[in-house]
Structure 1
Amino acid sequence: MTDTIHITVENQLGEIRQLEIPEGINLSLMEVLKASDYDILATCGGMALCATCHIEVLEGMEALEARSDAELDMLDTLPRAGDQSRLACQIRLNAALDGLKIRIFANN
């Protein structure tokens, strides 16, 4: 088991960067993306009410917890949401996410 979580992030411009996050940081993926200077509005502050942290999971979907009803309801309002869509605010970081690959959508 590693003490660092590695997440590959593709931004809205197609630029790819790998984040290294200490395990046990107890933050959501949205909080880490904002702290890493990604263009994420997170207007609602992580309550699954605005969908401005919409991401697509490219690899590692099986490591994520199931989407909540609130997250599914919010994703249903997005024209570009698909089977791999998630709200970054609803993903809590843990060691199982090591190797996750995501793409950030342009702000909705």
Structure 2
Amino acid sequence: MSDAADLQSVPGPVFFDRRELDLILRVYGRMVAASEWRDYAMVGHRDVAEFAVFRRSGDAPLYRIEKRPALRLKQGQWAVIGEGGVVLRRGRDLAQVLRVFDSRKFTVVE
């Protein structure tokens, strides 16, 4: 079977599996410990799963980590999107994409 046929045969919303959530929540925990992030939300839609992080509960998302399986053979199914919709990193491997948050490379500018 082709990959396109596999995507069409999978009913229901897209969501994260346990391994993916583990990687995302490790980064989230590290950033909460550094007092950078305070809240998160997860949403599973028909074509995308989204993990959004917030500086404060009432604010717009600071970052969104998206999983779009339809793009896995093209640009990669994972993306980290910053404020204003700017794609900070995109790729096929979640661990590589999440390296955008490494403390050595990443500082919050206010």
Do both proteins adopt the same fold according to a TM-score greater than 0.5, normalized to the shorter chain?
Answer: no
Greater percentage in helix: 2
- With normalisation by structure 1, the TM-score equals 0.30
- Which has the higher Rg, Structure 1 or Structure 2? 2
Higher RCO (CA < 8 A, seq sep 6+)? 1
